[in-house]
Structure 1
Amino acid sequence: MIAPYRIVLNAKVYGGKTLKKGVGANGEKLVKFLNKPRKVAVVGKHAQSFKRLLAGRGYSFTEKPELVFCFGGDGTILFSETRFPGVPKVAIKHSDYCTRCNVGSPPQPLSHAKMFYCAECVDKALDALDGRVKIKEHFKLDGTAYTSRGVFRDTALNEVQVHNNSPLHAVRGDVFVDGERVFRDFVSDGAIVATLFGSTGYFYSVSRETFEEGIGVALNNSTRPEEPLVVDEDSTIKIVLTRRHGRFVVDNHAKTVQLDTGDKVIVKKSKQVARFVEF
């Protein structure tokens, strides 16, 4: 359940629609549509059939949408955020369970999972769009790789990774948080820095932990048991390779960068945010 508004900070405009921005009781950044968006985009495997459904409700389609419908799984959500960064999104997932109608296995406990709808309750989501809706903002991460071949930057909704370059060799290095070394001389398949949004994705697969605030830092299949960390969202995380090679990986982006001994990756909270509709 989204916390109620406490303070109205300012007004923003997305796609010609004015939204009010506020802060909830627990500090969440919330935005509210004052008018129903009509110009939308659809991303996903079954986009054409879903477009027919939306067209019947009076929506039109554009490459500069006020709202994006993501019809698929986690990869679809990541792709849609890359294609339409910052544009509010309605996430409709193909899943064995639904956090709205509770079909299938029990839903995840994290509050941000409640934004997702399954195909069985799409109509309820669309009906809700006929009224005022709230949008929850999730911060992203900026990852910067400093290499002997240059500097490479990218932005993540889920996570920034230093991954092993070859399955035959481990990554070796150190991890620092705000200048303090937290993992020394690690030997693993890599290191992961994850957002709250990404805490239930690959980060969970590796660490078997989730979190509800801050930034998660974990080692992937480390030779020494190391507990994952959750640090303040304004922290600066640095990963330095001390031996062999690695690879700079951001979300599911196709472009990756090889890392060599002495290269480093810096991860910080981004000024960019992802926006998801909640009802």
Structure 2
Amino acid sequence: MAKVAIFGKTPESKEQLKKELKKFGFLYTEEKPEIVITYGGDGTFLWAERKYPGTPKALFRYSKTCVKCHNLPITHALELLRKKKYTIKTHNKIQAKIDTTTMLATNDVVIRNALPTHAVRFTLKIDGKQIDGEIVGDGIVVATTFGATAYFHSITRKTFNKGIGIAFNNTTIEHKPMFLPETAKIEFTVTRGEAFLVTDNEPRMVVLTPGKTVKITGTKEKARIIQF
């Protein structure tokens, strides 16, 4: 009997899913599940991934903003899960390090100006080589392939399916997006002003003051998405 956890958009949807799980012979649990079902949108999945990192997840739509959610009826999907008629696609994560803090991202790492009335000045290095001197703007978005259709796409109107992407957010001089291999080492250093460092939709924010450097790299951590 497979152990399944549920992340529902509403308490009512979660309770209804619990009843359906029982009908198909699954055991609901919040401790070490083998599968996680998310019923919501992109944000619901990201919350679930932080709580159960790496556990296979089946994404179901309760929101218009969920590009990768399934449109199958829940009962049909549960039957496929019971019969193990699905595949699992892995998505590489990235990490941001500053001082002793490490933050993982399934979607993206976002560094942006702390005050909307003030730009942030920064330098950017890729594998030790500085890019274009000092840059002035609202910051950058460093995206995974999973996050290529999210904030990165909103800025660049482009997507990608391998490696890491960097979008430059509202810079005074146009900077085209960069597409890098997963082994790339990215260093963002604040030279003037303050910025916030965030990952995905996590509430935690790190304040970056002048002289602070964030190092962004690939990681061995992966998100696993169930596909029917």
User: How do residues 1-279 of structure 1 correspond to structure 2 at under 5 angstroms?
Assistant: 38-45=2-9, 46-63=13-30, 64-96=32-64, 113=68, 116-118=69-71, 121-129=73-81, 130-146=83-99, 151-279=100-228
Q: Percent identity?
A: 37
Matched AA of 1:194: A
Whole-Å separation in 1 of the counterparts to 2:155 and 2:62: 23
How far off its partner does 1:127 sit? 2.5
Structure 2 gaps, min length 5: none
Secondary structure at the aligned position of 1:128 is classed as helix
- Asked if structure 2 preserves the Cα contact closer than 8 Å seen for 1:216 and 1:228, the reply is yes
Structure 1 gaps, min length 5: 1-36, 99-107
Higher relative contact order (CA 8 A, sep 6+): 2
- Asked if structure 2 preserves the Cα contact closer than 8 Å seen for 1:176 and 1:183, the reply is no
- Asked if structure 1 preserves the Cα contact closer than 8 Å seen for 2:20 and 2:75, the reply is no
Q: TM-score, normalised by structure 2?
A: 0.92
Secondary structure at the aligned position of 1:206 is classed as helix
Secondary structure at the aligned position of 2:118 is classed as coil
Whole-Å separation in 2 of the counterparts to 1:184 and 1:247: 21
Whole-Å separation in 2 of the counterparts to 1:217 and 1:94: 29
Whole-Å separation in 2 of the counterparts to 1:40 and 1:157: 21
**RMSD between aligned residues:** 1.7
Whole-Å separation in 2 of the counterparts to 1:55 and 1:77: 22
Q: Over residues 179-228 of structure 1, what are the superposed CA-to-partner deviations in whole Å (9 max), with x where a residue is unaligned?
A: 12234321111111110000011111122110011100111111211110
Q: TM-score, normalised by structure 1?
A: 0.76
Whole-Å separation in 2 of the counterparts to 1:208 and 1:69: 30
> 1:103: which partner in 2?
none
Secondary structure at the aligned position of 1:138 is classed as strand
Report the number of matched residues: 223
Query: Any runs of at least 4 consecutive aligned residues in structure 1 with deviations exceeding 3 A, and if so which?
Result: 95-98
How far off its partner does 1:67 sit? 0.3
